[in-house]
Structure 1
Amino acid sequence: MVGEWVADILGPGFEQLTLELGADAAPATLVRSLPRMPWLRPLNGVDVLYVHGWSDYFFQTELARFWTGLGARFYALDLHGYGRSLRPGQIPGYVTTLDDYDPDIAAALAAMGTHHRGRRLVLLGHSTGGLTLSLWAARHRGAASAVVLNSPWLELQTGAIGRQAIAPIIAMRARFDPLGAHPVVDLGFYTRAQRELGTLPDSPEGWRPERGFPTHPGWLAAVMRGHAAVAGGLTIDAPVLTLLSAASTTPLQWTPEMTSTDSVLVVADIARAATRVGPLVTVAHIDGAIHDVFLSAPEPRDAAYGVLRRWLVSGALG
């Protein structure tokens, strides 16, 4: 049974729909914002599906309004175990393979009605969501007309050599102790950077912890298998735009540079990995951007939107 769209916590212009994924499965949640009078706008006939990153949920109203201002219908998916979809007793964000999100994406697309209405689909993923959508798009050739990756987590922060060295250890722990504890490595600096920039609103309790969700070997092994797949080369058959900061800062102690650099990923490694997701990839470095380029200070944020608009209207969907 299909549920009903109801008012969302983001206020007027945003609605949410609970996506039931099966009797024994946790639900996902789809948020939508629809354009007013999309006719004669460059992206009329386009649907956007956004997927958030680790320890996150959808709250970026400015991002939604960018797309609806161009005439597109905007949808954002809070995956099961995250944000609006998080239920008591669940382990936040935990999966043992990123393929576990296939039912979430399938249910979202069915609710959107994109394909049977002949509309074009743009996939938009941030960080871990960028990795998840890259893998999904490579397995579902022909589904998307364009893919936009916002600082996608395509490689481990240790780089390929480090990932390959620790992969057997993580795989063994995932087999024998999948829910074991990991040391806390998120010291809250990325959250602090967003708060200092004023781009992070207050979140409902538990949806976006200051230092992220606890991580576990089963989950990390799933992510690293995704990284290995990217390193081996994917075959996304749509144009891909990867937006990244121009620089990274190692998150060992707080520095003011964290408000103008990526303090989560190593952007040079991500840029190299991005070239392996498909044959037509554009990589854009945004000077002054943070990990989520659309939550940066006004100047780099405007630059990121400018790059995205030109890429969409003059190239990928023009």
Structure 2
Amino acid sequence: MATVPEELRGRWVPDILGSPFESLTLPLTADWQGDVVATLVRRRPTRFAGLRTAFGDAAGWDVLYVHGWSDYFFQTELAEFWEGRGARFFALDLRKYGRSLRADQTPGYAASLDVYDEDLEAALTVMGHGADSENRSRRLLLMGHSTGALTLSLWADRHPGRADALVLNSPWLEFQAGAIARRAIAPLANIGARIDPGGQLPNVDLGFYSRAVSKAMDGEWEYNTDWRPARGFPAHPAWLAAVLAGHARVDEGLSITAPVLSLVSARSTLSATWSPAMLSSDIVLVVDDIAEHSLKLAPTVTVARIDGALHDVLLSRPAVRATAYAEIARWASAYLD
């Protein structure tokens, strides 16, 4: 296992989620807004996890989870699921998100999705999966949601052999209006990124997704609304251009060398007015497009359509989550052995 560089040898501290979660601040290269960090979160195995760690179908695996846009890691149930299958679980709050967001920083801002290579490399190095790690004794599963899933897919394509498996939760692989609209909008986004990269784009988030998720409304989840605001972070031209560039790369076809599981809802409900159907469907992405584009990621892709699922499949109603976790478990028993 590679030695962790001195600059990454921080101290694990109790996390905001409480025991057994801990977090570690990862210093990154400063940018135009000053110091930049990412934050690695881990779930320490409980005293009763020994047999699962030794004999579960994910024994010998490390899982790294990456959140989506306007989000951060708070899904303790997900960590418990992977520990229950024998894996060690980690999650990463990317720069300018969640635990990594600092005062006077633009939340979620990135001019290229490739910038997150540094965040991922810092986390993987601490986990023992750095670029210079030799003779790894454990295998690596990357798991991401939405924009995080897009970021991980692109990273895995550029770094063949580094990840041994990917699980994608509603990966944002195509623009909601489709490829034709994306190709028309991309040049305008690129011009905006050059002229005013940090300018604020119109907010098209009407807050319906938060209504479906938040316990304060029609959902069941409690979280920090400063880190996951009701109508999302303001979007910027540079960020939009970066995402559209990522979509174009997926559209051309990737060659991820690891098996991929893509979880998506069975249906989409995209509307400017609230509907009860939004409590049981994806109201962010066109799921048919995502399912189709998932097949462009790798030679071996499994697509699981989950009836009644929200955009974040693992924040859906309990019965729907149970179905999704069962799908992951079935896939894991086949591909993680």
Both proteins in one fold, TM over 0.5: yes
Deviation string 1:64-101 (CA, Å, 9 cap, x unpaired) is 00000111000000000000000001000001000000
- Cα offset, 1:299, TM superposition: 1.3
Q: Which has the larger displacement, 157-166 or 21-30?
A: 21-30
2:39 to 4, 29, 34: 29
2:153 to 120, 134, 154: 134
Asked whether the 8 Å contact 1:189–1:251 carries over to 2, the reply is no
- Cα offset, 1:197, TM superposition: 5.1
Match for residue 87 of structure 2? 72
Asked whether the 8 Å contact 1:155–1:270 carries over to 2, the reply is yes
Match for residue 211 of structure 1? 231
Residue 192 of structure 2 aligns with an amino acid whose one-letter code is R
Q: Does 1:281 align with 2:281?
A: no
Deviation string 1:177-201 (CA, Å, 9 cap, x unpaired) is 1112211100110000012554321
- Cα offset, 1:169, TM superposition: 1.1
Distance in 1 between the 2:298 and 2:127 partners? Answer: 26
Asked whether the 8 Å contact 2:265–2:313 carries over to 1, the reply is yes
Q: Does 1:59 align with 2:59?
A: no
Partner-residue secondary structure (3-state), 2:167:
strand
Distance in 1 between the 2:183 and 2:111 partners? Answer: 19
Asked whether the 8 Å contact 1:197–1:297 carries over to 2, the reply is no
- Listed as ranges, the matches of 1:68-217 within 5 Å are 68-114=83-129, 115-116=133-134, 117-195=136-214, 196=217, 198-203=219-224, 206-217=226-237
Distance in 2 between the 1:18 and 1:155 partners? Answer: 32
Partner-residue secondary structure (3-state), 1:27:
strand
Distance in 1 between the 2:66 and 2:326 partners? Answer: 21
- Cα offset, 1:23, TM superposition: 5.3
Partner-residue secondary structure (3-state), 1:225:
helix
Distance in 1 between the 2:120 and 2:275 partners? Answer: 38
Q: Percent identity?
A: 59
> Unmatched 5+ residue regions in structure 1?
none
- Cα offset, 1:34, TM superposition: 3.1
Partner-residue secondary structure (3-state), 2:106:
coil
2:27 to 20, 28, 32: 20
2:280 to 260, 263, 276: 260
- Cα offset, 1:226, TM superposition: 0.1
Distance in 2 between the 1:34 and 1:277 partners? Answer: 32
> Unmatched 5+ residue regions in structure 2?
1-6
Q: Does 1:9 align with 2:16?
A: yes
Partner-residue secondary structure (3-state), 1:180:
coil
Asked whether the 8 Å contact 1:34–1:72 carries over to 2, the reply is no
Q: Does 1:301 align with 2:321?
A: yes
Partner-residue secondary structure (3-state), 1:22:
strand
Q: TM (normalized to structure 2)?
A: 0.91
- Cα offset, 1:4, TM superposition: 0.6
Asked whether the 8 Å contact 1:7–1:15 carries over to 2, the reply is yes
Distance in 2 between the 1:199 and 1:224 partners? Answer: 32
- Cα offset, 1:270, TM superposition: 0.7
Distance in 2 between the 1:284 and 1:51 partners? Answer: 20
Distance in 2 between the 1:284 and 1:55 partners? Answer: 25
Deviation string 1:183-222 (CA, Å, 9 cap, x unpaired) is 110011000001255432131x521110000001011000
- Superposed CA RMSD in Å reads 1.2
- Cα offset, 1:22, TM superposition: 3.2
Asked whether the 8 Å contact 1:170–1:220 carries over to 2, the reply is yes
Q: Does 1:272 align with 2:286?
A: no
